[in-house]
């Protein structure tokens, strides 16, 4: 039978059309891997005796490896030297850290089936520590030193197409395997260091030209997005094609914008950066109240990619000293997560990779607590966490894992940074995170005094972010005129070393302003993103930093429940105080999730971290303290005298962009919650405003014993939700008793 030339021509046309429209195929390698350990950096183990989940940590391997995670960082050694629990010479002897395990590396192995040949195969290891090296079918294909950024490895020269392949990934067993000046995480209070591939792994198959990166920067004033696409021709011949973009609703999938394709020519091995502006008609803005998401579908004819984004702009402003979201002042209320300290927790297990657990942690509970803003502190989170923040509307201050403290802690052993390597890794860190609408602030470091960040690192990387996010530079001078600065007013800090000087009654005469000289700049907007110094373990026992504090606050014989109740009570009073005085753009408490077990320095507020049940006293007291309609009863006296009149100052704040009108009352309640006396009045609060009201209460002659003074504000507008309460413990007794 002779071939039909018409059919042959049609077949060729279909083949060419399919090639022109070839798209990326991405295969997840998440799941069970085999794992082994060793001392050599180059010799692949002959056998892999255990299994481990990816993403996850090596401490999840079965059977388990002995002494996994056992490493003492130089920062923690500095802490121990200062507390005289280890000899001074430890800092010199163990300058790269004290390794308490007989291994330097862990080796992961995974077999996978490759498809028919494509022009490129690219492995992506989203995050792994400490450092990553990759072998495919026995051939080394690359290394990546970053512990907090994605590693990309081109597999094309080693892959066996349409066949089974063996992938081996090596990670460091502890930070000391990497060069001394590379960022591996610096934390004075972190006790163990957990290696592992703690984020997803995937392989993408595509044809040329390959989409290397995409950045989407919203322009809400003009209802547009600026799209920057980096493409590369990995082939040995030139390609002549076009770059196409389509914008859709993320959930709806309806086409919103499809501008004309742009012609694209690349020589063999050439890389280009293409910028394109796309109009988004009647753009729906992303916010915590309405976290609406779009997606950008991009294609080159040989490759394709989908990028999710939100139409939002966030900035700080020095003139108002406020944060601005989508052109409006936005007061920030929230907390911190130190995930890499939670990695130490015996209850951590696989929770950080459990979708339902993470969604409750970042979505359901923050909404109940009236939080709109988190700092992900000293340690990055898996990519899925930020995707969930995008979806639930949680704004994030994303912090790089650097806490160098004061160089004097190291004395003559203080080190300098390698700015070139730091700059390279900060660039990669931004690349991995810049399309998340939830990421609103880049945080260069925590509690660090080092000019290298403001003089070299931030200026080198800041222009890469087309959204021009603010940079927070900790205790250093801010890098920009509108950048925020952080304040950590730990009013009870002195109590861990000696006598507690601060009393809550001191707040009655304080004005809420930052202490003189406490900020690196008086003209930039300020955030309180740590405060308290009152940490308790989940079982109510004090941490290393608070044993002496609670001995003075509650007495040596206080029960765990009494300490937990006191913790919530005092923390709520401080929260109300700083919110009421309006000197800060945001109040971000420390800490919502961290490790909690004997020997930790700080701890979180979960009664059950597996079920994500907050301690009831914390949920109640801090849930009130963070309501958008805030109430602060400026009273902390221990006693009230019966048969007297007492005037109470109540301060109100309104974080909402709408006025608030309603009733304000001050009530004296007995130990059972019964009303002994009450005084009330009407109040009016402008949108985003604040006011103070004096109310006089007549204390009954027959009142006695433990009571509570409650200031309660109701709003006429039901959008403000339920009443807000500020509560103070008091004993009613005659003067002198």
Residues of the chain with CATH 3.20.20.80: 314-626
User: What are the counts of helices (DSSP H) followed by strands (DSSP E) for the chain?
Assistant: 13, 41
User: Given its phi and psi angles, is residue 226 left (phi above 0), alpha (psi -120 to 50 degrees) or beta?
Assistant: beta
* C-alpha dist (Å) from residue 212 to 33, 273, 435: 27, 10, 14
CA triplet 638, 643, 647: central angle to 5 degrees?
60
At residue 22, the pLDDT reads 81
At residue 228, the pLDDT reads 98
Do the Cβ atoms of 418 and 182 come closer than 8 Å? yes
At residue 418, the pLDDT reads 74
Question: What contacts 652, CB < 8 A, 6 or more positions away?
Answer: 580, 629, 630, 631, 632, 660, 664, 683, 685, 690, 691, 692, 693, 713
Assign 686 a pLDDT band (cuts: 50, 70, 90). Answer: very high
Mean pLDDT for the stretch of residues 452-468: 96
At residue 737, the pLDDT reads 64
Q: How far apart are the first and last CA of the chain?
A: 114
Beta-ladder partners of 230: 213, 273
Residue 180 DSSP code: T
* The domain made up of 25-205 is a member of CATH 2.60.120.260: yes
Mean pLDDT for the stretch of residues 525-538: 98
Residue 42 pLDDT > 90, yes or no?
yes
Mean pLDDT for the stretch of residues 438-457: 94
Share of the chain above pLDDT 90, in %: 91
Assign 574 a pLDDT band (cuts: 50, 70, 90). Answer: very high
Give me the chain's average pLDDT, please: 94
Residue 13 pLDDT > 50, yes or no?
no
CATH of 631-732, one of 2.60.40.10, 3.40.50.620, 3.20.20.120, 3.40.50.2300: 2.60.40.10
What digits encode the pLDDT tens for the residues 87-126?
A: 999 988 998 999 999 999 999 999 999 999 999 999 999 9
At residue 644, the pLDDT reads 97
In 585-643, which ranges are E strands? 586-593, 606-608, 613-614, 629-633, 639-640
Share of the chain above pLDDT 70, in %: 95
What digits encode the pLDDT tens for the residues 129-140?
A: 999 999 999 999
Mean pLDDT for the stretch of residues 404-425: 66
What digits encode the pLDDT tens for the residues 312-323?
A: 999 999 999 999
* Sign of the CA dihedral with 77 first, then 81, 83, and 84 last: positive
What digits encode the pLDDT tens for the residues 635-661?
A: 999 999 999 999 999 999 999 999 999
Residue 389 DSSP code: H
* The domain made up of 210-309 is a member of CATH 1.20.1050.10: no
Do the Cβ atoms of 517 and 496 come closer than 8 Å? no
Residue 10 pLDDT > 60, yes or no?
no
What digits encode the pLDDT tens for the residues 154-210?
A: 999 999 999 999 999 999 999 999 998 889 999 999 999 999 999 999 999 999 999
Residue 412 pLDDT > 90, yes or no?
no
At residue 411, the pLDDT reads 45
What digits encode the pLDDT tens for the residues 689-734?
A: 999 999 999 999 999 999 999 999 999 999 999 999 999 999 999 8
Nearest CA to 97 among 190, 183, 189, 174? 174
Residue 37 pLDDT > 80, yes or no?
yes
Beta-ladder partners of 166: 111
* C-alpha dist (Å) from residue 132 to 27, 151, 381, 507: 20, 8, 17, 51
Residues of the chain with CATH 2.60.40.10: 210-309, 631-732
Residue 15 pLDDT > 70, yes or no?
no
Residue 40 pLDDT > 90, yes or no?
yes
Distance between CA atoms of residues 101 and 231, nearest Å: 44
Residue 343 three-state SS: coil
Residue 735 pLDDT > 90, yes or no?
no
Distance between CA atoms of residues 617 and 553, nearest Å: 17
Assign 416 a pLDDT band (cuts: 50, 70, 90). Answer: low
At residue 9, the pLDDT reads 36
At residue 214, the pLDDT reads 98
What topology is assigned to 314-626 in CATH?
TIM Barrel (3.20.20)
Do the Cβ atoms of 175 and 130 come closer than 8 Å? yes
Mean pLDDT for the stretch of residues 569-580: 98
Distance between CA atoms of residues 609 and 345, nearest Å: 10
Residue 123 three-state SS: strand
């Amino acid at each position: 039978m002779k071939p039909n030339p018409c059919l042959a021509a049609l077949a060729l046309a279909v083949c060419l059309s399919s090639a022109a429209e070839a798209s990326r195929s991405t295969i997840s390698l998440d799941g069970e891997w085999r794992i082994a350990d060793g001392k050599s950096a180059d010799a692949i183990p002959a056998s892999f005796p255990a299994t481990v989940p990816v993403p996850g940590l090596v401490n999840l391997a079965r059977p388990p490896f002995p002494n996994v995670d056992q490493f003492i960082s130089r920062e923690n050694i500095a802490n121990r030297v200062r507390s005289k629990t280890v000899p001074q010479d430890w800092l010199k002897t163990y300058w790269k850290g004290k390794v308490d395990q007989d291994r330097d590396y862990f080796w992961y192995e995974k077999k996978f089936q490759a498809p028919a040949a494509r022009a490129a195969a690219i492995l992506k290891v989203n995050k792994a520590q400490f450092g990553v090296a990759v072998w495919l079918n026995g051939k080394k294909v690359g290394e990546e030193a970053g512990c907090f950024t994605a590693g990309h490895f081109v597999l094309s020269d080693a892959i066996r197409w349409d066949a089974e392949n063996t992938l081996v990934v090596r990670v460091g067993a502890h930070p000391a395997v990497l060069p001394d000046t590379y960022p591996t995480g610096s934390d004075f209070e972190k006790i163990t260091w957990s290696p592992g591939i703690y984020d997803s792994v995937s392989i993408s198959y595509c044809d040329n030209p390959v989409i290397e990166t995409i950045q989407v920067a919203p322009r809400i004033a003009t209802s547009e997005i600026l799209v920057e696409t980096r493409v590369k021709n990995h082939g040995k011949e030139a390609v002549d094609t076009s770059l196409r973009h389509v914008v859709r609703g993320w959930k709806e999938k309806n086409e919103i914008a499809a501008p004309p394709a742009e012609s694209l020519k690349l020589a063999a091995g050439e890389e280009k950066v293409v910028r394109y502006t796309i109009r988004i008609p009647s753009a729906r803005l992303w916010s915590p109240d309405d976290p609406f998401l779009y997606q950008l579908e991009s294609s080159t004819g040989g490759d394709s990619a989908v990028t999710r984004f939100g139409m939002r702009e966030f900035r700080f402003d020095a003139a108002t000293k406020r944060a601005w979201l989508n052109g409006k002042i936005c007061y920030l209320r929230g907390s911190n997560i130190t995930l890499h300290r939670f990695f130490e927790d015996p209850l951590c297990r696989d929770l950080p990779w459990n979708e339902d657990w993470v969604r409750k942690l970042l979505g359901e509970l923050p909404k109940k607590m009236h939080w709109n803003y988190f700092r992900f502190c000293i340690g990055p989170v898996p990519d899925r966490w930020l995707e969930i923040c995008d979806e639930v509307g949680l704004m994030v201050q994303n912090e790089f894992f650097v806490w160098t403290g004061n160089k004097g802690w190291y004395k003559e052993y203080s080190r300098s940074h390698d700015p070139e390597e730091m700059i390279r890794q900060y660039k990669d860190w931004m690349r991995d995170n810049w399309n998340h609408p939830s990421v609103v602030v880049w945080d260069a470091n925590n509690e660090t005094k080092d000019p290298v960040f403001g003089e070299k690192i931030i200026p080198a990387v800041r222009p890469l972010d087309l959204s021009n996010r603010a940079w927070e530079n900790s205790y250093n001078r801010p890098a920009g005129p509108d950048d925020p600065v952080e304040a950590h007013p730990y009013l009870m800090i002195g109590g861990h070393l000696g006598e507690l000087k601060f009393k809550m009654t001191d707040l009655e005469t304080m004005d809420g302003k930052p202490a003189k000289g406490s900020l690196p700049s008086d003209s930039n907007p300020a955030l309180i993103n740590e405060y308290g110094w009152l940490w308790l373990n989940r079982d109510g026992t004090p941490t290393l930093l608070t044993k002496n504090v609670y001995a003075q606050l509650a007495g040596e014989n206080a029960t765990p429940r009494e300490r937990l109740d006191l913790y919530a009570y005092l923390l709520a009073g401080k929260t109300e105080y700083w919110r009421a005085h309006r000197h800060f753009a945001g109040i971000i408490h420390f800490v919502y999730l961290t490790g909690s077990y004997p020997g930790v320095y700080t701890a979180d507020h979960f009664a059950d971290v597996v079920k994500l049940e907050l301690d009831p006293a914390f949920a109640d007291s801090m849930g009130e303290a963070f309501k958008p309609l805030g109430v602060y009863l400026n009273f902390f006296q221990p006693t009230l005298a019966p048969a007297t009149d007492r005037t109470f100052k109540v301060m109100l704040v309104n974080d909402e962009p709408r006025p608030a009108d309603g009733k304000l009352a001050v009530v004296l309640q007995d130990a059972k919650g019964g009303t002994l006396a009450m005084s009330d009045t009407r109040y009016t609060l402008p949108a985003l405003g604040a006011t103070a009201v004096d109310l006089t209460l007549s204390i009954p002659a027959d009142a006695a014993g433990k009571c509570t003074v409650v200031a309660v504000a109701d709003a006429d507008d039901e959008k403000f939700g339920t009443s807000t309460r500020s509560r103070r413990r008091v004993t009613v007794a005659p003067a002198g008793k």
